[in-house]
Amino acid sequence: VDKETSSTNNNTTNNNNNDGMSSRETTVSELLQLDEIESTGPGEDSVYVENSIISDPYGDAGEYTGEVLLLSTDKPHGMGTMKYQDGRTYAGGWKNGQWHGKGVAMFSNGDQFDGTYDLDRRHGFGTYQWKDGRVYEGEFHSDQRQGCGEYRWPDGAVYRGEFMGGHREGEGTYTFADGSAYTGEWSKGRYHGVGQCKWKDGRTYKGEWKEGKAHGFGVEKRSNGTIRHEGMWEHDHPVRK
C-alpha cells in the first residue's frame, strides 16, 4: 500500500541542495499582485537592489532582485527573487541570506514548493508538487511532512490524515484508485493498530493490524455481509482452531 516511492525528505530545501527549478519564473511583484505574499516595504536595515550577482551563505551564486541587508549587500533580507545559476528560482521572504517566510521555490527537476519557510526549512503550511504529478498539501515541520495533510497520486489514490517525520503516522484514510479504502491507525507509512479496510468488491476487514498486515483480533466479512472469519490473525492469515 505504500506508494510513496520518494518523499520531500529527499529534496531538502537548504539553498545548497542540488534540486533545480522549472523553466517558469516567479517574481516578487507577481506574487504581490496575486496576494500570495505580503510586502514588508524597505526596512531600516535593508536596501533594494536589482539584478545583483550574489552568493548565498552556502556559496551558491545567482542573480538577485529585492531587499538586502544595508551593511551586507550580499545577504538577501526582506522580500526578493533569486535566480540561481544551477537553475533554481526562489521568490519570497529572506532573513540574513536564508529563505524565510512565505515563498515559492521551483527546482530544475520540475518539483515546486509553495509555502512557508523557517531559515531554509519548510515549516508551517505548504504545497509540494512533484514533476511526476504527486502532490502533498498540508503541514511541515523542520523540512518534513508533519501534522495533518493530504497526499495525492496521479492515478487518483489519496491519503488524508496525520503525518510524523515524513511518514503516514497516527489516524488517516488511504483511498486506492479503484475505490478500496483503509481507515484507521498508521505507523511509519503502514497500517498499524486498529483499522478497517473496505475492498471494491464489498469485502471488509475490521480489527488489528501490524506493519501493514491483519494481525491480532479481527473480523472479515464477505461482500454479502456474512462473516468469513472472526478471531485471531497472523500476518494476513486467519488462525484456525
Q: Are 137 and 127 in contact (CB under 8 A)?
A: yes
Give me the phi and psi of 30, to 5 degrees please.
-65, -40
Q: Are 193 and 36 in contact (CB under 8 A)?
A: no
DSSP-based three-state secondary structure for 153 = coil
Residue 194: domain span: 132-240
Q: Which of 127, 149, 172 is the last residue of a domain?
A: 127
Same domain, 63 and 123: yes
Same domain, 120 and 210: no
Please give the model's pTM, rounded to 2 decimal places.
0.79
Of the candidates 143, 135, 141, the residue with the CA atom closest to the CA atom of residue 160: 135
- 73, pLDDT greater than 80: no
Q: What's the CA angle centered on 142, arms 17 and 111, to 5 degrees? A: 45
Same domain, 136 and 236: yes
Q: What is the pLDDT of residues 7-40, one digit of tens each?
A: 333 333 333 333 333 333 444 444 444 444 444 4
Q: Are 192 and 211 in contact (CB under 8 A)?
A: yes
Same domain, 55 and 109: yes
CATH number of the domain encompassing residue 71: 2.20.110
Q: What is the pLDDT of residues 163-219, one digit of tens each?
A: 999 999 999 999 999 999 999 999 999 999 999 999 999 999 999 999 999 999 999
Percent residues over pLDDT 90 in the chain: 75
Same domain, 109 and 189: no
CATH number of the domain encompassing residue 168: 2.20.110.10
The CA distance from 82 to 63, in Å, is 6
Of the candidates 236, 211, 146, 218, the residue with the CA atom closest to the CA atom of residue 2: 211
Percent residues over pLDDT 70 in the chain: 82
